[in-house]
């Protein structure tokens, strides 16, 4: 786990001692003190927002906001404490070290102490029951010298991601060293954690304080080490509930509490599922098949074609071999675009008549392209 956003509903569940540390200063109100416009407005999600501007604490502190909202049904004001923080930074001061499922108790105590240092008093049971509205999961993988991050990102670029997930934006930044895929309420990010740490703040994926992480890099001489980092970011409350409850095999509408994040293998299940969603299609699995002996691959395809039988089994084997080699070299998406440009679907009236010729055209086009690539 990395960054999370939690909500604690008050005012009875938390107390604020240093109200002057907020901008504007926190001034609790009662329902009778609201103006007529505030009582009748139906478009405003909240009445006021208080942003914590605490003096330097000497250690990592969460980002804290207080929302003043109106419960019109019960005619009372509700205050919501919203905390955003990186769990490994809160516990270890850096995000190179990872959090395990057994660290739940330590994380909640560390968060409670951080709130106390900011003048916010919250019971530990209310911390454990806080609702999760955003969840970032990640995995750091130290790459061996013979595997380069640039090669991994090049393979990911050959995957036809648009056919597996709903891609809204795909970004390649920092000279192709970062791949960021936006899919509505979730994001997938692939980058080198070490390189990202030593970049200027405006070019990093991690915008937080990096002083202690840089100390670790200096201490252990990690500048020549590549750490492949995969982040799966779930940004909305409903999406968090859907993903977490599905992994825990619970009812979809069950709200996700802070303590639920430390269920055994929860993060692992969600991360692996998010990865499988990218590579579940056969053509994407071919794009990521890795280095292979083409002659042995052809023999295996021919053996499989013989078992299925048929008069044209060898032709099918050669076509399949051509498809595999093209996808491995150029990617599934480029192959689909090439075939579509050569054999456009005809009008509905002539489709049945020309169906066989179009299929033949596609097979011939694939094999010719394979021959040219060789």
Boundaries of every domain in the chain: 3-279, 286-373
Q: Which residue has the higher pLDDT, 66 or 94?
A: 66
pLDDT band of 108, cuts 50, 70, 90: very high
Confidence of residue 351 (pLDDT cuts 50, 70, 90): very low
Q: Give residue-wise pLDDT tens across range 273-290.
A: 998 887 776 555 554 555
Give the model's pLDDT for residue 369.
46
CB 135 within 8 A of CB 228: no
* 113-159: pLDDT as tens digits: 999 999 999 999 999 999 999 999 999 999 988 888 888 887 777 66
- What pLDDT digit, counting tens, does each position of 224-252 carry? 889 999 999 999 999 999 999 999 999 98
More confident residue, 199 or 28: 28
Residue 26 has pLDDT above 80, yes or no: yes
CA distance 259 to 278: 29
The confidence score (pLDDT) of residue 368 equals 46
**Residue 9: phi, psi to the nearest 5?**
-90, 130
pLDDT digits (tens, 9 = 90+) for 288-337: 555 566 777 677 777 777 776 666 677 777 777 777 777 666 666 666 66
Task: State phi, psi for 293 to the nearest 5 degrees.
Answer: -85, 115
Query: What b-and-e string marks burial along 196-211, b requiring 16 or more CB atoms within 10 Å of the CB?
Result: bbebeeeebbbeebbe
Is a pLDDT exceeding 60 seen at residue 164?
no
What pLDDT shows up at residue 147? 83
Of 350 and 249, more confident: 249
Global pTM exceeds 0.95? no
Q: Quote the CA–CA distance of 180 and 188 in Å, as a whole number.
A: 6
């Amino acid at each position: 786990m990395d960054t999370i956003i939690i909500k604690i509903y008050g005012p009875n569940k938390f107390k604020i001692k240093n109200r002057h540390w907020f901008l504007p200063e926190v001034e609790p109100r009662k329902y009778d003190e609201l103006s007529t416009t505030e009582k009748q407005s139906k478009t405003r999600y909240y009445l006021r927002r208080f942003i914590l501007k605490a003096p330097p604490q000497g250690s990592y502190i969460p980002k804290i906001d207080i929302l003043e909202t109106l419960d019109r049904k019960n005619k009372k004001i509700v205050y919501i404490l919203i905390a955003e923080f990186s769990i490994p930074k809160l516990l270890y001061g850096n995000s190179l070290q990872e959090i395990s499922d057994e660290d739940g108790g330590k994380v909640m105590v560390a968060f409670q102490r951080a709130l106390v240092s900011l003048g916010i008093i919250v019971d530990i049971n209310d911390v454990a029951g806080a609702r999760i509205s955003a969840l970032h999961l990640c995995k750091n993988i130290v790459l061996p010298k013979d595997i380069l991050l640039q090669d991994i990102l090049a393979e990911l670029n050959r995957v036809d991601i648009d056919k597996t997930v709903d891609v809204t934006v795909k970004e390649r930044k920092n000279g192709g060293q970062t791949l960021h895929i936006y899919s509505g309420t979730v994001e997938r990010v692939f980058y080198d954690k070490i390189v990202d740490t030593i970049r200027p703040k405006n070019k990093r994926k991690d915008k937080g304080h990096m002083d202690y992480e840089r100390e670790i890099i200096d201490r252990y001489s990690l500048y020549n080490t590549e750490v492949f980092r995969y982040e799966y970011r779930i940004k909305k409350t409903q999406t968090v509930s859907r993903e977490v409850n599905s992994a825990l095999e619970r009812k979809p509408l069950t709200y996700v509490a802070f303590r639920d994040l430390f269920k055994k293998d929860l993060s692992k299940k969600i991360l692996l599922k998010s990865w499988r969603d990218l590579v579940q299609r056969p053509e994407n699995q071919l794009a990521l098949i890795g280095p292979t002996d083409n002659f042995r691959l052809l023999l295996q395809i021919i053996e499989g074609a013989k078992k299925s039988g048929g008069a044209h089994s060898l032709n099918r084997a050669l076509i399949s071999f051509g498809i595999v080699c093209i996808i491995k070299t150029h990617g599934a998406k480029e192959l689909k675009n090439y075939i579509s440009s050569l054999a456009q679907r005809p009008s509905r009236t002539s489709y049945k008549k020309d169906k066989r010729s179009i299929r033949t055209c596609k097979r011939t086009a694939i094999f010719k392209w394979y021959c040219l690539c060789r």
